[in-house]
């Protein structure tokens, strides 16, 4: 059977929509790569700048299976609405700004994803069954809502902003963060907000500086 797997380097020859440089030298500027179902192979030479990009990278609605070929570090990263994406292999490991990994329904794990998150990190509306591979510490908000999680094991242990894990199937306190600098929102998890845990029990394993948001009756939330 013909191997259908394609790397980002191969796909970009077909699907690079645009690279916009504010000035003449792309290594000195912020720029955006928008990867969609479009056009020209002419920008493939710009891979020589891909070890460290001073810019915002968006991988949106493309056909990649994994992310082999992306730079090692970027300023900001969005990976969204990729129907075939099943792995974060090759993803930048250092992101100086925000991270959004959302609406990739075949993505089951964060393994291979960024390990340094200096601002918010969202990974909502994927098919995640595990948070394994997430950074251990996040300087900002963390949002893993609307996945298929049954616990927070493997997730960040220190979050300086809000921690949101709504609309999952979490039924265990295993893996709960050690500290949250903002609010901890675990609503719409039947094992927690039904006849599950009390706010006191949640606070006993997690130092929440803000509010713990949950409703005791699951039925009341529908």
Instruction: Tell me the pLDDT tens digit for each residue of 190-222.
Output: 877 656 788 899 999 999 999 999 874 444 433
Cα angle 50-52-57, degrees, rounded to a multiple of 5: 70
What pLDDT score does 55 carry?
74
At 6 the pLDDT is 43
pLDDT at 193: 60
| DSSP H or E segment with residue 8 | helix 8-15
Pair 161, 185: CB distance under 8 Å: no
Mean predicted confidence (pLDDT) in 105-131? 95
- Looking at residue 195, its pLDDT comes to 61
pLDDT score, position 40: 23
CA atoms within 13 A on the CB side of 116: 11
Chain centre distance of CA 220: 30
What mean pLDDT value characterizes the chain?
78
* Res 102: pLDDT: 96
Nearest residue to 78 via CA among 18, 118, 121: 121
- Contact present, 192 and 213 (Cβ < 8 Å): no
Distance in angstroms (rounded) separating the CA atoms of residues 195 and 215: 10
CA proximity to 92, closest of 55, 125, 44, 137? 55
């Amino acid at each position: 059977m013909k191997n259908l797997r394609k790397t980002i380097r191969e796909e970009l020859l077909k699907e690079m929509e645009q690279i916009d440089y504010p000035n003449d030298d792309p290594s000195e500027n912020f720029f955006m790569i928008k990867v969609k179902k479009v056009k020209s192979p002419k920008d493939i030479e710009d891979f020589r700048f891909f070890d460290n990009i001073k810019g915002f990278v968006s991988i949106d609605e493309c056909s990649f299976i994994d992310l082999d070929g992306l730079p090692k570090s970027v300023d900001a990263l969005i990976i969204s609405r990729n129907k075939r994406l099943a792995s974060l292999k090759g993803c930048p490991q250092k992101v100086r700004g925000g991270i959004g990994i959302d609406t990739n329904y075949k993505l089951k794990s964060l393994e291979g994803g960024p390990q340094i998150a200096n601002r918010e990190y969202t990974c909502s509306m994927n098919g995640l069954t595990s948070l394994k591979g997430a950074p251990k510490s996040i300087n900002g908000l963390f949002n893993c809502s609307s996945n298929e999680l049954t616990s927070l094991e493997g997730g960040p242990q220190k979050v300086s902003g809000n921690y949101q894990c709504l609309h999952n199937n979490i039924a265990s306190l295993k893996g709960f963060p050690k500290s949250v600098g903002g609010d901890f929102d675990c609503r719409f998890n039947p094992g927690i907000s039904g006849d599950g845990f009390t706010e006191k029990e949640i606070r006993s394993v997690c130092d929440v500086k803000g509010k713990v948001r949950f409703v005791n009756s699951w039925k009341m939330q529908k």
